[in-house]
């Protein structure tokens, strides 16, 4: 926060209990059964496979952008034939 202010930036905090790792960044499903030891997981709703930390970073960005009034910032995805 101090360093950000010296650079003219602001820091916004999200709720510490926000399920950022457990929420599918593609469909929004919350995987309540996800264990802390699971480093990657497949969403039981849409089947998307997530790296736990990368998925959390997308969700934290989305919550922050929503808090700032930027609307829905989910990336648009193009379907690929199997």
pLDDT of 79 reads 56
| Report field, pTM of the whole predicted structure over 0.85 | no
Tens of pLDDT along 21-77?
999 999 999 999 999 999 999 999 999 999 999 999 999 988 888 877 766 666 565
Phi, psi of 2, deg, nearest 5: -65, -50
Please tell me the distance from the alpha carbon of residue 8 to that of residue 56, in angstroms, as a whole number.
26
DSSP-assigned beta bridge partners for residue 62: none
Phi, psi of 66, deg, nearest 5: -65, -40
């Amino acid at each position: 926060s101090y360093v950000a202010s010296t650079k003219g930036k602001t820091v916004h905090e999200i709720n510490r209990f926000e399920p950022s790792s457990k929420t599918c960044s593609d469909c929004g499903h919350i995987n309540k059964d996800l264990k802390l030891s699971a480093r990657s997981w497949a969403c039981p709703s849409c089947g998307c496979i997530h790296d736990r930390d990368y998925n959390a970073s997308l969700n934290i960005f989305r919550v922050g952008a929503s808090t700032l009034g930027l609307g829905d910032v989910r990336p648009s995805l193009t379907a690929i034939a199997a």
